[in-house]
């Protein structure tokens, strides 16, 4: 099957959301390596910096023991036995894009430092919902890829205005929920040379529609489905 609308990339990146979480415990090295074996071409993680600056991978950002505390308020040794670190991930998998969602400047800086240590800066996609925050990170690390995770409903001035702002701020991609995307919207962001990422693409019908309209990446929980649908477009 040929793609009806062209992607800006040679082929869409298949980001495994928190690893192969439909088959293994999310955010574990087992889930990440399994995702790649099942056909993922990228990994999508949530990251938090500990008080001593180690980036660990977790959905909530909270230490799951009583009393609950923020990961940023404890040292790495407190969570080292229960949470994989970004250094662990970079040391285990190689040469695949890693999309890293972060909530604060301290974590972003620690992610950038870890990527530099592992010569992986050019394959890190740093994600945040606020354009102004991303613009600041661009000045700090010119080599990192930046992704604005938002929704059409959160763009009061409309998608075209946001596309122009992203291009001016040198932000590489916009990530929208899969249901927000249309062929016309993909074409709009591509006109500004902004990549189109689709989140929450869990079902085959969604994946077919998205890849057919030329999105540059999809993120979902079911790696086998992503790989099978992508193969029909090769």
Average model confidence (pLDDT) across the chain = 95
User: Burial level of 181, CB count in 10 A (0-12/13-18/19+)?
Assistant: buried
- Report domain extents, the chain: 13-231
Strands (E), 169-216: 173-177, 195-199
| % of the chain with per-residue pLDDT over 90 | 91
pLDDT digit string, tens, across residues 149-182: 999 999 999 999 999 999 999 999 999 999 999 9
> Does residue 212 register a pLDDT over 90?
yes
What CATH number does the domain located at 13-231 have? 3.20.20.190
CB 166 within 8 A of CB 174: yes
Integer distance in angstroms from the first to the last C-alpha of the chain?
Answer: 7
| pTM of structure | 0.95
Provide the β-strand partners of residue 44: 17, 99
> Does residue 68 register a pLDDT over 90?
no
pLDDT, average across residues 51-56: 98
């Amino acid at each position: 099957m040929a793609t009806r609308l062209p992607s800006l990339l040679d082929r869409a990146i298949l980001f495994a959301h928190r690893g192969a979480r439909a088959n293994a415990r999310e955010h574990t090295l087992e889930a990440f390596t399994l995702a790649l074996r099942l056909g993922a071409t990228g990994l999508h993680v949530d990251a938090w910096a500990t008080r001593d600056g180690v980036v660990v991978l977790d959905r909530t950002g909270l230490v799951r023991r009583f009393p609950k505390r923020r990961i940023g308020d404890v040292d790495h040794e407190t969570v080292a036995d229960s949470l994989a670190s970004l250094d662990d991930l970079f040391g285990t998998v190689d040469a695949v894009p890693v999309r890293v969602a972060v909530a604060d400047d301290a974590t972003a800086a620690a992610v950038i430092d870890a990527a530099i240590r592992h010569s992986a800066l050019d394959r890190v996609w740093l994600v945040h919902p606020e354009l102004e925050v991303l613009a600041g990170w661009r000045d700090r690390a010119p080599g990192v890829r930046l992704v604005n995770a938002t929704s059409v409903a959160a763009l009061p001035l409309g998608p075209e205005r946001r596309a122009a702002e992203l291009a001016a701020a040198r932000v590489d991609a916009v990530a929208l929920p899969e249901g927000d995307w249309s062929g016309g919207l993909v074409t709009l962001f591509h006109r500004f040379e902004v990549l189109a990422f689709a989140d929450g693409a869990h079902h085959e019908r969604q994946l077919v529609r998205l890849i057919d309209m030329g999105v540059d990446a999809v993120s979902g929980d079911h790696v086998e489905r992503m790989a099978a649908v992508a193969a029909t477009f090769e």
